[in-house]
Chains A and B, each alone.
Chain A
Amino acid sequence: MNILNTMALSASGLNAQRQRLNVIAENLANAQVTRTPQGGPYLRKNVILETQPTEDFDSLMDSPSKVAVTDIVESREGLAQEYDPSHPDANAEGIVTWPNVNPVTEMVSLVLASRAFDANVAAFKTAKNMAMKALDIGH
């Protein structure tokens, strides 16, 4: 595989982690939102990461694969409910439903995404250095 094509693999990793970071940021920002345009509290979003085969002319089975965010799903699990009739978004029984965003979980995901991002940056730089060194052959 051409060393330059290898950079595309790292680029896909950077892209995927960045999207993940965006989703985490959105979750954290909306952690207290009880009223959304669709009605109901904000629902926690999550990215689905999947491998993508590289469009290599070889199309070998063993070729390293890129990664991509194939879907962003909302989850209804773990919605917290609280009895607070004074809240403007309380329903008929006086129960307020809060978003299912757990800041601790989100921060852990943040750290993991950031770590993966950095790792891909390192891989990218390495590939670049190797390519530059190859251009030095004969000088």
Chain B
Amino acid sequence: MADNLLLDGTLRLLEKSLSWRSQGQAIISGNLANLETPNYTRKEANFQGVLKDYVQGRPPIKLASTNPRHLLGSPVEKGLIEETDEPVDLDQEMVKLSVNQLGYQTSVTMLNKKFDQLKTVIGT
């Protein structure tokens, strides 16, 4: 029963969005690190897509673990990372950096508010 408490849909969604934002940060960092690498094509994080899939209940495409030693702790949602054919555009990437960070911080703040609400209800 204690487990059910915290399976609140919004909490899970916020937790998921944090994972996506974190992966998005990795993608953007990879793009920026390879800003000057010749023949490098940028990768993109497709938030709207995975968010929609999640909210509408479509199961995410996850890569099956081929090696039993690999941890399934937080598998990268395959739908999140998209390859493009374009080189890295610095301005675009910096905007994405800011937006992504903002999204992450927003989710954390909302998560904190949720937890505060729960604490209030529990009464301590």
- The answer to whether any beta carbons of A and B sit under 8 Å apart in the complex is yes
Could you list 5 examples of A-B contacts with CB < 8 Å? A50-B37, A57-B70, A119-B94, A122-B97, A126-B98
Interface digits, A48-63 against B, CB 8 Å rule (1 contact, 0 not)?
Answer: 0111000001101011
Q: Is A27 an interface residue (CB 8 A)?
A: no
**Closest CB in chain B relative to A137 CB, distance in Å:** 6
Taking A13-B35, A119-B35 as contacts, is the C-beta distance between A3 and B22 under 8 angstroms?
Answer: yes
Contact: A51 with B40, CB < 8 Å? yes
**Closest beta carbon of chain B to A1's beta carbon, Å:** 4
Give chain B's interface secondary structure class. helix
Partner pick for A57 among B29, B71, B78, CB 8 A cutoff: B71
Contacts of A96 in B (CB 8 A): none
Of A29-37, A78-86, A98-106, A128-136, the one contacting chain B is: A128-136
Q: Please determine whether B115 and A138 come into contact, CB atoms closer than 8 angstroms.
A: yes
Q: Considering the complex, which residues of chain B in the window 10-26 have a beta carbon less than 8 Å from any beta carbon of chain A?
A: 18, 21-23, 25-26
**Residues of chain B within 8 A of A138, CB atoms compared:** 112, 115
Interface segment out of the listed B1-9, B52-60, B100-108? B100-108
A9-34 contact mask (Cβ, 8 Å, vs B): 1 or 0: 11011001100100000000000000
Q: Bound state CA distance, A6 and B81, in angstroms?
A: 15
**Does chain A have a CB within 8 A of B50?**
no
- Interface residue? A113 (CB, 8 A): yes
- Chain A, residues 106-122, CB within 8 Å of chain B (1/0): the string is 00000011011001101
Query: Which 6 interchain pairs have the tightest Cβ spacing?
Result: A64-B30, A13-B33, A1-B26, A9-B29, A62-B81, A6-B26
Given the known interface contacts A60-B76, A119-B93, A122-B94, the answer about A67 and B25 at a Cβ–Cβ threshold of 8 Å is: no
- Assess A6 versus B63: contact at CB under 8 Å? Given A65-B34, A112-B36, A120-B33: no
**Extra inter-chain contacts (6) besides given A119-B90, A123-B33, CB under 8 Å:** A9-B29, A119-B32, A127-B25, A129-B101, A130-B22, A137-B111
Asked if A66 is at the interface of the complex by the 8 Å CB criterion, the answer is yes
A interface vs B, CB < 8 Å? 1-3, 5-7, 9-10, 12-13, 16-17, 20, 49-51, 57-58, 60, 62-67, 112-113, 115-116, 119-120, 122-124, 126-127, 129-130, 133-134, 136-139
Q: Is the CB of A62 within 8 A of B43?
A: yes
Across the interface, name the chain B residue whose C-beta is closest to A4: B22
In the bound complex, what is the Cα–Cα distance between A133 and B108 (angstroms)?
A: 7
Instruction: Chain A residues near B104: list those with CB within 8 A.
Output: 130, 133
